[in-house]
Structure formats: C-alpha cells, structure tokens
Amino acid sequence: MNQKTDVIIIGAGPVGLFAVFELGLLSLKCHLIDNLDKIGGQCAELYPEKPIYDIPARHSITGQELTDELMKQAKPFDPTFHLNQQAEKIEKISDGWKLTTSSNQIIQAKCIVIAAGAGSFVPRKPPIENIDQYENKSVLYAIRNKSLLTGKKIIIAGGGDSALDWTNDLAATSEVTLIHRRKEFRAAPDSVAKMLELEKQGKIKFEIGQIHSLTDENGILSGVNIKNDSEIKLLKTDFLLPFFGLKMELGPVANWGLNLYENLIEVDTEKFETSIPSIFAIGDINFYPGKLKLILSGFHEAALMAQKCFNYCHPEKKNVFKYTTSSKDLHKKLGV
C-alpha cells in the first residue's frame, strides 16, 4: 500500500531534521529516509560525543546532543522515519512523485528534498579477499542485535569511537580482542582510558596489527590473520567487527537526471531547487557559488526551501510569512 505525505526528505541528519521543523511551521507533513539505522546522520554516527562549536547560541554541543535537540524541535510535527534503506528510484506522477526505497517502501509526495549530507553512508570495508561471503553473518559493520555476540569470541578492528565504544561495551559479555595498527586512537579520551583499563585488568586483549586475511572451517569464519611488520598471527574468532568509519556515495540519486557539479547537486540560491522542479537539495549535498559546508548553512537553506514547497503543496493558498514569536497556532502545537 502506498504511503502519502507532503514532502519526502532523503537524509535524517541535522539539516533534514531541521527541515521537518521548517516544513511543519507551514503545516506540511514529512517522511524521512536514511541509509543508517538511526537518526542524526554524520553527527550521530561519526562524532556523537565530540563537540561542535559553530551552532548559533551554543558555546559547545556534541553531535548526539544536537541530534536530540533537533528531534525535540521536530517531534510536534510527527515525522515518519524509514531507516536502514536508500531512496532507490523516483517516478513522476500526476500530483507529484512516487519514490521506492531499497526495502520496497513506496511513498508519494508533492516534493522531494535531498538532505543526504554528501551522500549515503556506507561502511569502509577492509580490502580482504572473499570478505563478502561472511558479511551480515560473522563479519558485521554495525551491531543490530547485541545478544548474538554474548559469550562469543569477537575481534574488533579500528581506532575510532565506534571501535572503542563497542570494545568497552562488549567486554562484559564477550571475549573481545581489539586490533589497531598502533596504540594511538582517534576516539574520545574517556573511551580510550576505559579500554586501556580493561586491558590492564585482563578483561580485553589488544593486538597491534592490520587484518591480512580470514580463515574458516566448513565455510564458517574461524579466525583472522593479522599482520604486524613481517609477522602474521592467527587469532581465533566467531565474529569480526571492522569499524573503519563510513564513506559517502551519492548512490541511486546520481541516476535521477539532476544537474551535478563534481558529484554534488546544483541548486539555485533563492529556493534551493534542483534542475528538476519540486526536487530540492539542502546541506552538504548541494552546490552553488560561495557554498560553505556548515550545518548552519543547511539550516538557512531549509528555511527557504520550505517556502517553495508550500507553493507546490498548496498552489491555491497564499503563504503569509509569520514569525514564530507571533504564531498562536504554533505555540499551541509546541505546547508553549
């Protein structure tokens, strides 16, 4: 059964979440699609605990805090989220667009807003031969069900926040070995300190090296060969969790016929519309002369985009701009 809304937003990062608020001020409903398993985009996935300093009126705010605050702002407008899936294809219909996701969700809307950062986030995979045959079985790039790992031997590879956070978390329930090319880490200092203390107490193991190859028994992952200088060492394991961060790809959007500039989507600066009417692009995914890749720039773009979306969704109505300080209807909706 097709789902219907006013606006489809591709990307549930900070700019996509703020767009829900701006569109909601105009009584426009939104569905959001994101390739990740949670909202917040890059802020929540790559630096949830690291401070951001250029958000107006906040001296400092972490990526997760910003996500949480934007969700509070968006919540009164009741957005619908479609996570763990991509926007695969679009089709022009008489009253707007029909979009199909990689999970075969079909959504109809008057407008589409691409707020996908620099594209869809996909995991950086180790360049290991035949690793794909173990993926989503014993090689996991994200943990969806932690109970599967209870009591198992686990190798975690990486030196960033995800690798350290999961090492610390799983140490209580699993036999964890962390491998990284050196004993210096990009993770938050508190996470590093916790990991080192767990190693000192013998609750986890740490190995310096890089993944060289995988071994199996009857097609089931049984071990990871790690290489340190010229030495190769076999570590027995049930699961391998490579946390090497995410890379960004434009994905299926690249085939939608939009004008592109160096893998970014060209837009105007009046309403941030693309070369295809009623499809917009806001945030880091777009390009125009003088573009700055800042979250606050994306917020500005979202505000102007929303005004034009209103025209597409309600061509028979006149949009009378109101400040939020003077809108009694908004105060009631927000509970203030």
Higher pLDDT, 329 or 281: 281
- In the numeric block, the tokens 């969806």 are attached to 144
Question: Which tokens is 245 given?
Answer: 């961060």
Common-topology check for domains 3-122+247-334 and 125-244: yes
Sheet harboring 30-33: ordered strands across?
80-82, 30-33, 7-10, 111-114, 279-281
* Low-confidence winner among 6-10, 31-35, 303-307, 325-329 (lowest mean pLDDT): 325-329
Q: What is the pLDDT of residues 16-71, one digit of tens each?
A: 999 999 999 999 999 999 988 889 887 877 667 778 888 999 999 998 999 999 99
Please determine, looking at this structure, whether the domain spanning 125-244 carries the CATH number 3.50.50.60. Answer: yes
pLDDT recorded at residue 136: 85
Mean pLDDT of 287-292: 95
pLDDT recorded at residue 146: 85
pLDDT band at 141 (very low <50, low <70, confident <90, very high): confident
Highest mean pLDDT: which of 45-59, 79-93, 116-130?
Answer: 79-93
Q: Dihedral angle at the C-alpha atoms of 238, 244, 249, 251, nearest 10 degrees?
A: 10
Q: Topology of 3-122+247-334 in CATH?
A: FAD/NAD(P)-binding domain (3.50.50)
Q: How much of the chain exceeds pLDDT 90, in percent?
A: 69
Q: Domain ranges in the chain?
A: 3-122+247-334, 125-244
Query: What φ, ψ does residue 214 adopt, rounded to 5°?
Result: -115, 150
Mean pLDDT of 126-143: 89
pLDDT recorded at residue 188: 86
pLDDT band at 190 (very low <50, low <70, confident <90, very high): very high
pLDDT band at 239 (very low <50, low <70, confident <90, very high): very high
Higher pLDDT, 30 or 1: 30
User: Mean pLDDT, the chain, as a whole number?
Assistant: 90
Query: What φ, ψ does residue 132 adopt, rounded to 5°?
Result: -65, -25
pLDDT recorded at residue 118: 64
Taking residue 265's Cβ as centre, other Cβ atoms within 10 Å add up to 27
pLDDT recorded at residue 6: 98
Whether the model clears a pTM of 0.75, i.e. scores above it, the answer is no
Q: Using the predicted structure, report yes or no on whether residue 336 has a pLDDT greater than 60.
A: no
45: amino acid identity, one letter: E
Query: What φ, ψ does residue 317 adopt, rounded to 5°?
Result: -110, 155
